[in-house]
Chain A
Amino acid sequence: MLRNSPPGQPDIAALRARATNLRRHMLTMARGQGQGYIGQGLGIADVLAALYFHELRYDPENLAWAERDRFLLSTGHYSIALWAALAEAGIIPVEELVTYGADDSRLEMSTLDTTPGVEVIGGSLGHGLGQGVGQALGLRLLGSDARVFVELSDGEMQEGSTWEAAMSASHFKLDRLVALVDCNGIQADGPVVLDMEPVADKWRAFGWDVSEVDGNDMEAVVAALASARARDGRPKAIVLRTLPGKGVPRIETSEKSHFFRVDVREWDGIIADFERSVGALQ
């Protein structure tokens, strides 16, 4: 059955509940091997909930449907968030989530495109946007109306290929292409090591239609995605300011948030705290 075709009126409360489910899935995954890129995953949970349960047009039973909107996760190490979204969408079984990062699991810590629902191999940073440009160009040539969403990150903007792709997207007037620029302020060596600000101005200078929102504010994210539907000949960039670890205070405050590893007892404490806080909100 097609999802979000076309997107209806957004039910913000329902989307927030989906985001909570994604966070719950991610905690389950990280507890499995005791580790993972959960800071980034929790940070982008609201965006993926908005995409998979409101904006993205797809068929969970026919992932190869030619007219589907594409979601390309360029930061392959955010896989934990993608697996959570795919499980929540019914594409991979929820029971499988505990295998995240385990030997022989298809829920790798960095995406490979052999897992259902994965559109590109992420992880070699700077690869996603150019492939999104190619897909948007190809879909247009084939007369398709499908959109292409590419997630990339603030650290990833340091890869020159990101800007090669950005230049070509505006040159080819790819207004069905949406870059979701996750600015969470961290990269492998810690806080962003090379200042990328002003991020929105950079994309504007490359000819993109840019909006900038709090990526953890569901209402703002949904509105930005809706405004990115405009057919004005310009590719769309949504600069998302997100908080790594969002919704899980113990991870929000961690200095190790690029990669998070604690023992199983601590995971149990984190999960119990999370469920208490979610219960209190409801």
Chain B
Amino acid sequence: MGENEAVGAARPTIDAPFGRALTRLGHERPEIVGLTADLGKYTDILPFRDAFPERFFNIGMAEQNLVAVAAGLARTGLVPFATTYGVFASRRAFDFVAIALAHSNLNVKIIAGLPGLTTGYGGTHQAIEDLALMRMIPGLTIIDPCDAIEIEAATEAIAAYHGPVYMRLLRGAVPAVFDPGYRFEIGKARQLREGKDVGIISTGFMTERALDAAEILAKEVASVAVLHVPTIKPFDAEAVAAFAAGVDRVVTAENHVAVGGLASLVVETLFDAGIARKVTRIGLPDRYIECGAVPTLQARYGLTTEAVVASIAELT
């Protein structure tokens, strides 16, 4: 299970960026507690457990209870970080996230492993629709970080923010795509590359693919801009509209089904703003995905740099 899940260009990696950041925060803030539902080893939270065993609770395979217990802990003034896989946090514990957490605006952070297509275990484990599900919950902040640098920065940002958060997790040896000085701000999109022909609006690790694709395309095909949108909710509609207005053609790229998540948000935003652009959606199909090796599946379903290059080349 230790494979590099964000399969992209060769880049330096950082081990367990979430666990490192949470442990660092744990030293500064005694009110931070950790929970998991029998997936501590697989969600990078063990460094926190080892540093603060009395502040860590393994709830067992019971995701509804994971969220309920986290809600109760938050009501006593503690700041729980609860880890599980995205499929369980979204599909299985949905009512608890909606009612026990979000309805009361409780200060709980849900850290959701195996986002989108980052496991070969098939539909049971692939959280391909979690962004769509969770963005319907009022008041829930949703983050899909791109890389190790952003995971560490986002962990710090959500710890400083008061309110419920659902953050997708890239675990293990996670590539460092951004410079160490990269600034993450909840609710803010960031333009990472200028261009005028095509604008890619991306989230999660697809931003890494977008940047690499833009570099390849720039040589002879097209001038490609990239807007990274790590916060799915609250959505930075202003930045997305301004970005889209500055390019001829918009492409969305997400590690998620291409309905209900980033693509839908972009289309809604452009329609609301009266910006007429064709939008090409790169993302997973509206169906369950088979088992297999992650690189094979990511290539088969268009989540690689090559696939992004091919989609954009077709447009120009």
Let me know if A138 and B75 touch, CB within 8 A.
yes
Let me know if B62 and A119 touch, CB within 8 A.
no
**Max chain B Cβ within 10 angstroms of own Cβ: one of A120, A121, A164, A165:** A164
B280 to nearest A CB, angstroms?
40
> Which stretch in A30-38, A125-133, A183-191 binds the other chain?
A125-133
Which residues of chain B in 40-80 are interfacial with respect to chain A, using CB atoms and an 8 Å cutoff?
A: 54-55, 57, 59-60, 62, 64-65, 67-78, 80
Question: How far does the alpha carbon of A53 sit from the alpha carbon of B74 in the complex, in Å?
Answer: 28
Name 5 extra pairs, CB < 8 A, besides A127-B95, A127-B96, A131-B69.
A137-B72, A142-B78, A160-B64, A164-B65, A167-B60
Q: Is A135 an interface residue (CB 8 A)?
A: yes
Which residues of chain A in 1-23 are interfacial with respect to chain B, using CB atoms and an 8 Å cutoff?
A: none
Which residues of chain A in 111-127 are interfacial with respect to chain B, using CB atoms and an 8 Å cutoff?
A: 112-113, 119-121, 124, 126-127
- Find chain B residues with CB under 8 A from A168 CB: 59-60, 62, 65, 69
- Find chain B residues with CB under 8 A from A222 CB: none
With A121-B100, A172-B57 as known contacts, state yes or no: A161 contacts B78, CB within 8 Å.
no
**Max chain B Cβ within 10 angstroms of own Cβ: one of A66, A120, A130, A160:** A130
Let me know if B104 and A130 touch, CB within 8 A.
no
Q: Is B218 an interface residue (CB 8 A)?
A: no
Q: Is A134 an interface residue (CB 8 A)?
A: yes
Question: How far does the alpha carbon of A132 sit from the alpha carbon of B67 in the complex, in Å?
Answer: 12
**Max chain A Cβ within 10 angstroms of own Cβ: one of B57, B77, B80, B95:** B57
Let me know if B64 and A126 touch, CB within 8 A.
yes
Which residues of chain B in 240-279 are interfacial with respect to chain A, using CB atoms and an 8 Å cutoff?
A: none
- Output the nearest chain A residue to B35 by Cβ-Cβ distance: A134
**Max chain B Cβ within 10 angstroms of own Cβ: one of A134, A136, A144, A165:** A134
Let me know if B75 and A131 touch, CB within 8 A.
yes
Q: 16 A-B Cβ contacts within 8 A?
A: A127-B95, A127-B99, A131-B72, A132-B72, A133-B72, A134-B68, A134-B71, A138-B33, A142-B78, A144-B76, A161-B62, A164-B60, A164-B62, A167-B62, A168-B69, A171-B60
Let me know if B76 and A127 touch, CB within 8 A.
no
B: interface residue count bin: 20 to 34
3 closest A-B pairs (Cβ-Cβ)?
Answer: A134-B72, A130-B68, A138-B76
With A137-B73, A138-B73, A138-B75 as known contacts, state yes or no: A130 contacts B64, CB within 8 Å.
yes
A110 to nearest B CB, angstroms?
11
- Find chain A residues with CB under 8 A from B57 CB: 137, 172
A134 to nearest B CB, angstroms?
2
**Max chain A Cβ within 10 angstroms of own Cβ: one of B59, B65, B78, B103:** B65
With A138-B72, A141-B54 as known contacts, state yes or no: A113 contacts B104, CB within 8 Å.
yes
Chain B 204-236 interface mask (CB, 8 Å, partner A; 1/0): 000000000000000000000000000000000
Let me know if B64 and A137 touch, CB within 8 A.
no
Q: Is A139 an interface residue (CB 8 A)?
A: yes
Interface of chain A, helix or strand or loop or mixed?
helix
With A164-B62, A167-B60, A167-B62 as known contacts, state yes or no: A135 contacts B72, CB within 8 Å.
yes
Let me know if A135 and B62 touch, CB within 8 A.
no
The 8 Å CB contact of B68, one of A66, A133, A142, A171, is A133
Number of A positions contacting B (CB below 8 A): 31
- Find chain B residues with CB under 8 A from A171 CB: 60
Residues of chain B whose beta carbon lies under 8 Å from any beta carbon of chain A: 33, 54-55, 57, 59-60, 62, 64-65, 67-78, 80, 95-96, 99-100, 103-104
Let me know if A134 and B64 touch, CB within 8 A.
no
Question: How far does the alpha carbon of A172 sit from the alpha carbon of B64 in the complex, in Å?
Answer: 17
Let me know if A127 and B100 touch, CB within 8 A.
yes
Question: How far does the alpha carbon of A132 sit from the alpha carbon of B70 in the complex, in Å?
Answer: 10
Let me know if A137 and B69 touch, CB within 8 A.
yes
With A164-B65, A167-B60, A168-B69 as known contacts, state yes or no: A135 contacts B76, CB within 8 Å.
yes
Question: How far does the alpha carbon of A132 sit from the alpha carbon of B72 in the complex, in Å?
Answer: 6
**Max chain A Cβ within 10 angstroms of own Cβ: one of B69, B78, B95, B100:** B69
Question: How far does the alpha carbon of A164 sit from the alpha carbon of B92 in the complex, in Å?
Answer: 13
- Find chain B residues with CB under 8 A from A131 CB: 68-69, 71-72, 75, 100
With A121-B99, A141-B55 as known contacts, state yes or no: A136 contacts B72, CB within 8 Å.
yes
- Output the nearest chain B residue to A113 by Cβ-Cβ distance: B104
Chain A 40-70 interface mask (CB, 8 Å, partner B; 1/0): 0000000000000000000000000010000
